[in-house]
Structure 1
Amino acid sequence: MRDFFKYLFASMLGFFLSIAIIFLILFVIIVGAISSIDDDKSVTVANNSVLFLNLDQAITERTPKNPFGNLPIVGGGEKDGIGLNDLLKSIKRAKTDDNIKCIYLNVSSPNAGFATMREVRNALIDFKKSHKKIIAYSEVYTQGAYYLASAADKIYLNPEGALEFKGFSSELTFFKGTLEKAGVEMQVIRVGNYKSAVEPFILDKMSDYNRKQVTAYVGGLYNTFLTDIAQTRDVLKDSLYTIADNYKVRTPEDAVNFKLVDALKYKDQILEELKGISGRTRDENVRTVSINDYIKNNEDTGTGKDKIAVIYANGEISGGEGNDNQIGSERISRAIRKARLDDDIKAVVLRVNSPGGSALASDVIWREIVLTKKEKPVIASFGDVAASGGYYIGCAADSIFVQPNTITGSIGVFGIIPNFQNLMTNKLGITFDGVKTGKYADIMATNRPMTEGERFIIQNELNRIYSGFVSRVADGRKKSKAYIDSIGGGHVWIGTDAVQIGLADRIGSFNDAIKAAAKKARLKDYKIVEYPDVVDPLKSLVNEGTEKIKTYYAKQELGDNYMIYQQIKKVMSSSGIQVRMPFEAVIR
């Protein structure tokens, strides 16, 4: 009888738990649906309003849709950010919006790459042509924040605040010592002396080749940074270099004395100034509309039957479907194919922001671009990074647009096969034994060292893939294989250098690429359509919920060290031959 009641109560508990879980899921779906409806509502912009531009949020390629953002679940409440597409469109619209009198720019530590920040910065500079003012204020400016703020008419700093202006530094993390202590050997095969993604696992410092390209990469970013600031702040570039090199900005007063900011003010003083600019009296409050609300009023671009398709390829490249932050070869190639077969779409813009990934998946996407190029113009626009596989998928385009601080190139391949034998046998006491029907039946085994024959086979496969990569670039760029090989070898190039050596065609913005596509297709009136469709938030929650929970807690526990964990995990989970960025440097 006791067992009967035990099983009865267990069954009842399971039943009620199941009911509770189903109820929670239904609750999430209902609230999410309500939130989605609310998010789609347009926003009324009052007369004499100030557009509040908070740029501390993540600036992604497209605005994420997260109806669960305010729900008490893991991942809920996180800031998803704003899409560059919506941000640029909104700043352009505000330029002619009579209800918007000025922009109040607030930024301390932006979450975006330098090429993305340059797109935003140039949009702000264009906004000023309307003779409307931009006021920037912050208690703290990092260098990235100051780069954005330097586009403003007036830059203000809190009297007790701080402005960082010290030059760029790059730091790489090396794991060789840790792996040796753990008894793990990373067996590396690569093509290209500059293909240094493998170096953190086999060296304890940068190779001479990598140091050379990192020096050029960081120097190129810094040159654009100083040049742009010099133009808008009317300060000599050499003077800015000297100020940073000698760390002369140590107090808020120093920032004023060296003309990096216009004055030191408190928030209440900024609000009073905004009242005056926007036509409000001292007794009235400032009317503001946030950029996240203002983008809700964005309308479809253009009219008419003809269309230009913008295809977003964002994140690392892998096989399968991927998502909005990972390029899945199936999802992206399907989107390209859909655009090619649609007679109303007259041109395609491929927007790439990717450090690369799977060589096979990159080739699958490349093939669709080649087929589409035969039917209609294809223009590539590279964002913060379009390197290795990211360059592979765009090299066949009719024209390639980059920002001066875009990272691109990295034409090379590599493979890593870990050997855990020492860890398993000598440290954990685990041994392996088995049978095989052929000499190479276990060629990718990770419980023993590679043989010379296996290394020879894998190296030949990498050579074949590299030769194909070089051929595709040579065909797309109309250069000889020998020339592409001479600038390949995994070498990373900054955007300005990429144009000079022929890997890209023009320095230009995302919108410049769209205009070029319209011109090549001979279009005057057209609509912009975006592919692939944004991943449904509910579907994403169901499919990726477990991974999001793991990521959430890993970030909570590891903090700044999460990036190190991510690097190790990335290499251990990579399969097949990789065409990936040769390094992941932290720029400070």
Structure 2
Amino acid sequence: MKQFFKFTIASALGLIIGTILLVLIGSIIVSSGNSDKISLSENHVLKLNLSGSIQDRKEKVPFDISEITGQNINIIGLNEVLRNIKKAKNDDFILGILLDVGQISSGYASLEEIRNALIDFKKSGKFITTYSEIYTQKAYYLASVANYICMYPEGGLDLKGINSTVTFFTNALKKMGIEPQVIRHGKFKSAVEPFMLNEMSDENRKQIEIYMGSLWNTYTQNIALNRGVSSNRLNEIINNFELKTPKDAVKLGLIDSLFYDDQFRKHLVYLSHEDTYEDIKFINLSRYDNVKSENAREKFKKDKITIIYAQGEIVSGTGSETVIGSERISKAIRNAREDEKVKAIVLRVNSPGGSALASDVIWREMVLAKDTKPVVVSMGDVAASGGYYIACASDKIYASPNTITGSIGVFGLLWSFEELFSEKLGLTFDQVKTNKFADLGSTNRPLTDQEYDLIQEGVVDVYNTFTSKVASGRKMHQIDVDNIGQGRVWSGANAIEINLIDEFGGLAEAIKGAAEMAGLEDYRLTELPLQKDPIQQFIESLEENIQSSWLKHQLGDQYKYYKTLHNLKNIKGIQARMPLQFIID
């Protein structure tokens, strides 16, 4: 009887799970089928919901995974946002934009691109209004361009300045009997400091102060331009903690109106020239993406500019939409190079770096592509270390003043678990080897002095290769690259002064620059690498998102520490990357 119930319950669960999967797949097919282009024939307000995590390009997953996980996993594609703001500007059936900035998660460079697109939208004479219970610092940066900034009467405006906190694992590792063995070149290469120090080195503190000061200056100056308050006065307001209540925010000119939800609806009725709120027709971003644009015949144009998206850490192998695999990105660059209809390439880089070897593989394809057609780089939030390695061979580099770049330096990191194994677990080891260095890199013992020196030679050699390729690509002397290198991190605002980038601008400016270099006036845009079939992508993403969602839910703010330690397993070989934990709040 016990076995009977066991098999009966198992069969029932299998049936339920199978049914759910069939429903999900059916929903995906229906969603895919609903992607046909549509037309607007009546006035609408574009609801631009930016509450979520912004990536350069999101995965093609038509089904809302949050409905399964119970957690809000709103991934927003920056390319989709920019494309539709531009389209809405010239769409006679779009009256204006209702901007929902909510709990936006993005780097400051991506925010800058959206912000500039919204400023351009306002040139059409259409309105932008925004409403929130609480404006975070990043949310307010976007909201500040709106014609009307509205807030809940009991809400809050969280302006306090930015900070970067580094977590040091040195003492924790020591207690566990784990010894990190660090080999680096460059006094500013801070990626390994969390494993060898208990506080920031003087060099690291200096570079963080400089690039964070640059980011904050850009932030305050841009808000000052839109809100009619000087950047000095804004800093004074923040330092004196003058924003105690929503009424203070209105009095200081940072918020326009305090509305309850029903009052804000009346505000929307007024802006839309309708009789009631129910008469207003809204259209969200995903649906508006299917609205035909004035360039609907663009797909029939012969000449192409191809945008290649490289986002995430750099590793050898295939990678994914959010991990730069050397094989996948190299193939995309090669395909664009060999396609005669592609007249120019724009590589969009958003990466803290990673494997130096994988970076070099991609660099080589960039060099080959540059020999055949214009190659332009658009830097996102971060394009540093290995991210700069793959960018330096291009004809031209565009970046935001808020982009984090540079970090031209390399390191090696190995681990010795000798104390953990012998003193804490009671494990001992014995071995037979055919050659002297057969067990080089073994975790059951520390490196010998000779082994350390050999690896140090390799690290220096990779650094020299890195700086020589930057010098070649940027038409500089290698000694000058070394002077601004050694792992030092720069903001885009500083990088333009030392020839690491050429012009300020986002993806739109990079595309325009590539078109000019190729002598194109009439062209269409294509994107690489090609994305997987939506159903396959959904199935692959489901497990990853459920797991990460559950961990984020359980760990809360501590999830970042788990992610840092989890990413250690990807460190293989000599690395050209920024710190594993790089957070600016």
Return the TM-score normalized by structure 2. 0.94
Distance 1:130 1:347, change over 3 A: same
1:212 and 2:206 are equivalent in the alignment: yes
Rounded to whole Å, the distance in 2 between the matches of 1:431 and 1:517 is: 61
Rounded to whole Å, the distance in 2 between the matches of 1:472 and 1:185 is: 34
Distance 1:537 1:245, change over 3 A: same
Among 480, 483, 493, the alignment partner of 1:483 is 480
Rounded to whole Å, the distance in 2 between the matches of 1:367 and 1:12 is: 59
Deviation at 1:556, TM superposition (A): 2.7
Structure 2 partner of 1:234: 228
Letter in 1 for 2:267: E
Letter in 1 for 2:415: P
Aligned residues of 1:350 and 1:378 also touching (Cα < 8 A): yes
Structure 1 partner of 2:43: 48
Question: Where does the alignment leave 5 or more consecutive residues of structure 1 unmatched?
Answer: none
Rounded to whole Å, the distance in 2 between the matches of 1:429 and 1:70 is: 46
Rounded to whole Å, the distance in 2 between the matches of 1:150 and 1:545 is: 36
1:376 and 2:385 are equivalent in the alignment: no
Deviation by residue 1:103-148 (Cα, 9 ceiling, x = unmatched):
1112232111110001000111111111111112111001101100
Rounded to whole Å, the distance in 1 between the matches of 2:13 and 2:103 is: 44
Among 24, 30, 36, the alignment partner of 2:26 is 30
Structure 1 partner of 2:382: 385
Question: Number of residues paired by the alignment?
Answer: 582
Rounded to whole Å, the distance in 1 between the matches of 2:6 and 2:136 is: 57
Structure 2 partner of 1:110: 104
1:256 and 2:256 are equivalent in the alignment: no
Aligned residues of 1:89 and 1:298 also touching (Cα < 8 A): no
Aligned residues of 2:61 and 2:538 also touching (Cα < 8 A): no
Aligned residues of 1:366 and 1:393 also touching (Cα < 8 A): yes
Letter in 1 for 2:520: L
Rounded to whole Å, the distance in 2 between the matches of 1:220 and 1:283 is: 43
Mapping of 1:317-356 within 5 angstroms? Answer: 317-356=314-353
Rounded to whole Å, the distance in 1 between the matches of 2:67 and 2:221 is: 45
Deviation at 1:97, TM superposition (A): 1.1
Aligned residues of 2:265 and 2:277 also touching (Cα < 8 A): no
Aligned residues of 1:378 and 1:399 also touching (Cα < 8 A): yes
Rounded to whole Å, the distance in 1 between the matches of 2:74 and 2:112 is: 21
1:69 and 2:60 are equivalent in the alignment: no
Superposed CA RMSD: 2.3
2:279 alignment partner, SS class = coil
Among 427, 430, 433, the alignment partner of 2:430 is 433
1:181 and 2:175 are equivalent in the alignment: yes
1:193 alignment partner, SS class = coil
Distance 1:15 1:292, change over 3 A: closer
Letter in 1 for 2:525: I
Return the TM-score normalized by structure 1. 0.94
Rounded to whole Å, the distance in 1 between the matches of 2:14 and 2:385 is: 47
Aligned residues of 2:66 and 2:73 also touching (Cα < 8 A): no
1:456 and 2:453 are equivalent in the alignment: yes
Aligned residues of 1:62 and 1:84 also touching (Cα < 8 A): yes
1:359 and 2:356 are equivalent in the alignment: yes
Deviation at 1:12, TM superposition (A): 9.7
Distance 1:197 1:71, change over 3 A: closer
Deviation by residue 1:492-522 (Cα, 9 ceiling, x = unmatched):
0000111110000001121111011000000
Deviation at 1:535, TM superposition (A): 3.0
Deviation at 1:34, TM superposition (A): 2.2
Deviation at 1:94, TM superposition (A): 0.9
Rounded to whole Å, the distance in 2 between the matches of 1:223 and 1:411 is: 24
1:551 and 2:548 are equivalent in the alignment: yes
Letter in 1 for 2:426: G
1:495 and 2:492 are equivalent in the alignment: yes
Deviation by residue 1:181-239 (Cα, 9 ceiling, x = unmatched):
11111110011111111111111111111101111121111011001101111211111
Letter in 2 for 1:69: D
Structure 2 partner of 1:414: 411
Rounded to whole Å, the distance in 1 between the matches of 2:508 and 2:435 is: 56
Deviation by residue 1:386-431 (Cα, 9 ceiling, x = unmatched):
0001110010000000000000000000111111111111111111
Deviation by residue 1:59-116 (Cα, 9 ceiling, x = unmatched):
2112432133258645x87534221111111111111211111111122321111100
Mapping of 1:39-188 within 5 angstroms? Answer: 40-43=35-38, 45=40, 47-69=42-64, 73-74=68-69, 78-188=72-182
Deviation by residue 1:28-57 (Cα, 9 ceiling, x = unmatched):
43332223223x144554623211111112
Rounded to whole Å, the distance in 2 between the matches of 1:187 and 1:327 is: 26
Deviation by residue 1:518-576 (Cα, 9 ceiling, x = unmatched):
00000110010100012334334555655444433322321211110110111233211
Aligned residues of 1:194 and 1:582 also touching (Cα < 8 A): no
Among 455, 462, 467, the alignment partner of 1:465 is 462
Deviation at 1:320, TM superposition (A): 1.0
Letter in 2 for 1:29: I
Letter in 2 for 1:331: R
Rounded to whole Å, the distance in 2 between the matches of 1:544 and 1:148 is: 29
Deviation by residue 1:154-184 (Cα, 9 ceiling, x = unmatched):
1111111100111112111111111111111
Deviation by residue 1:224-281 (Cα, 9 ceiling, x = unmatched):
1001101111211111111112221111111111111112122222211211221201
Aligned residues of 1:410 and 1:582 also touching (Cα < 8 A): no
Mapping of 1:179-328 within 5 angstroms? Answer: 179-282=173-276, 284-297=278-291, 304-328=301-325
Deviation at 1:13, TM superposition (A): 9.1
Question: Where does the alignment leave 5 or more consecutive residues of structure 2 unmatched?
Answer: none
Letter in 1 for 2:514: A
Distance 1:264 1:543, change over 3 A: closer
Deviation by residue 1:341-364 (Cα, 9 ceiling, x = unmatched):
000000000000011111111111
Letter in 2 for 1:279: H
2:289 alignment partner, SS class = helix
Give the fraction of aligned pairs with identical amino acids, expressed as a percent: 47
Letter in 2 for 1:147: Y
